[in-house]
């Protein structure tokens, strides 16, 4: 199998695994054990990883809260902000409005839908045909009752990079917090929370060649706040039981996973420039070869502001399910890993028909992808598309 689905997940880098292994055996201590060396060693390893993860996104180490992944981080950011705003007594608050966009990951859209059922006001904005949201549309949507604006940094399906700095500034101008799901962006393109002015950012290890089951939420503290009065972000915990992670996320820490996350972040920061250039060249090669051999193909999303390893294309006149089944030796997808049975809500939001959305492929080129693999994939896809059109034109 040729693996071209690196937006869904990535293999653990051998250097990451090497860093993790001792913490399954001889360094197995609980990071919360303060009375002996086993706990101290685990705690030291966690704090070292916290600094490595923070360095990847330009944050202070104390701003990083470890979670079980980006889904939990997104939920903690969105629900944590609303619970903190609501107050412990559940009294009515002046700010009860959230703004987001229709192409967000379900890990953002679903928590917001839950809050809407609980009485929160929500605005889900459309995107343009190229996948970008209009900054002016976001500005118009924010009111004096808006508590949070959340827009993902890079889309997980079409790879489009949103104008995060401008969107964060628009939120701050009206006194709202700004959160971004930075899962696909961090470690692949420049992403600095201070330069961008974001207040909360969700990231995860398994998109940057680290282990699954560990992520982090960046939470801006008062000492680094860009907002008036030097106020940091206050969020309420979603999980109680011991007060771990500065009271924001209780539970015994996944020390091996956190160590792996830290090492993966360190490698990504050191190698991002060269890796992005190499992966981007492979993506462009794939696109050029597909365009040269396949008619009726549309690139989804703008190319100018896009993740270097992402290519999302749709094909006219074929059945989407037959396309994926026929690519039996190439691992690609037609959308997010969590919604494979449905047409992509991202492509539908961009104005594509259901058939066009289903007849799409998302290529995710990664660290281990070779030129030969890209060339084989282009040839195979072109031949499959031609055969399907001849056999059963749609």
Token output for 327: 């690519």
Q: Dump pLDDT digits (tens) for 174-192.
A: 999 999 999 999 999 999 9
Confidence at residue 233, expressed as pLDDT on a 0 to 100 scale: 86
3-state secondary structure of 314: strand
Which residues are within 8 A (CB) of 288 and not within 5 positions of it... i.e. 6 or more apart?
none
Token output for 84: 């903190």
* DSSP string across 75-137: HHHHHHHHHHHH-TT----S--EEEEETTS-HHHHHHHHHHHHTT-EEEEE---TTSPPPHHH
Q: What is the assigned CATH class of domain 272-391? A: alpha beta
Q: Dump pLDDT digits (tens) for 207-249.
A: 999 999 999 999 998 754 444 445 678 888 788 787 787 767 8
The answer to whether domain 14-265 has CATH 3.40.640.10 is yes
Closest CA to 309 of 3, 69, 89, 79: 3
Confidence at residue 340, expressed as pLDDT on a 0 to 100 scale: 52
Residues of the chain with pLDDT under 70: 86-93, 223-231, 247, 335-341, 392-394
The DSSP bridge pattern shows strands 330-331 and 2-3 to be parallel
Domains 14-265 and 272-391 alike in fold: no
Which residues are within 8 A (CB) of 81 and not within 5 positions of it... i.e. 6 or more apart?
147, 148, 177, 179, 200, 233, 235
Indicate the pTM of the whole model.
0.92
Which residue out of 125, 137, 297, 338 is catalytically annotated? 338
Confidence at residue 339, expressed as pLDDT on a 0 to 100 scale: 46
- 384 tagged catalytic: no
Contact 4, 365 (CB under 8 A): yes
3-state secondary structure of 274: helix
The domains of the chain are located at 14-265, 272-391
């Amino acid at each position: 199998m040729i693996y071209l689905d690196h937006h869904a997940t990535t293999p653990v880098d051998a250097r990451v695994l090497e860093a993790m292994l001792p913490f399954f055996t001889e360094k197995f201590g609980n990071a919360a054990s303060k009375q002996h060396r086993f706990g101290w060693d685990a705690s030291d390893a966690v704090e070292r990883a916290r600094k490595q993860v923070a360095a990847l996104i330009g944050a202070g180490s104390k701003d990083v809260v470890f979670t079980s992944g980006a889904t939990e981080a997104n939920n903690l950011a969105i629900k944590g902000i609303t619970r903190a705003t609501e107050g412990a007594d559940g009294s009515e608050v002046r700010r009860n409005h959230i703004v987001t966009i229709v192409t967000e990951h379900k890990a953002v859209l679903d928590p917001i839908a839950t809050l809407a059922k609980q009485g929160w006001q929500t605005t889900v904005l459309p995107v343009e045909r190229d996948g970008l949201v209009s900054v002016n549309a976001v500005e118009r949507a924010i009111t004096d009752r808006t508590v949070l604006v959340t827009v993902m940094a890079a889309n997980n399906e079409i790879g489009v990079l949103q104008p995060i700095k401008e969107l964060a500034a628009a939120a701050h101008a009206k006194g709202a917090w700004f959160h971004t799901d930075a899962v696909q962006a961090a470690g692949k393109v420049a992403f600095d929370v201070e330069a961008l002015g974001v207040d909360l950012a969700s990231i995860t290890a398994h998109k940057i060649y680290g282990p699954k089951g560990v992520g982090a939420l960046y939470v801006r503290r008062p000492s680094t706040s860009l907002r008036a009065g030097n106020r940091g972000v206050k969020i309420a915990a979603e999980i109680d039981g011991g007060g771990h992670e500065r009271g924001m996320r209780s539970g015994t820490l996944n020390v091996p996973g956190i160590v792996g996350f830290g090492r993966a972040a360190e490698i990504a920061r050191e190698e991002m420039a060269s890796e992005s250039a190499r992966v981007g060249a492979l993506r462009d090669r794939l696109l050029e070869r597909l365009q040269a051999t396949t008619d009726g193909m549309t690139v989804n999303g703008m190319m100018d502001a896009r993740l270097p390893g992402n290519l999302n294309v749709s094909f006219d006149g074929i059945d989407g399910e037959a396309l994926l089944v026929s690519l039996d030796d190439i691992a690609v997808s037609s959308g997010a890993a969590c919604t494979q049975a449905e047409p992509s809500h991202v492509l539908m939001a961009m104005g594509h028909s259901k058939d066009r959305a289903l007849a799409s492929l998302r290529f995710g080129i990664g660290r281990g992808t070779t030129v030969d693999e890209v060339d084989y994939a282009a040839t195979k896809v072109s031949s499959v598309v031609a055969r399907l059109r001849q056999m059963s034109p749609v």
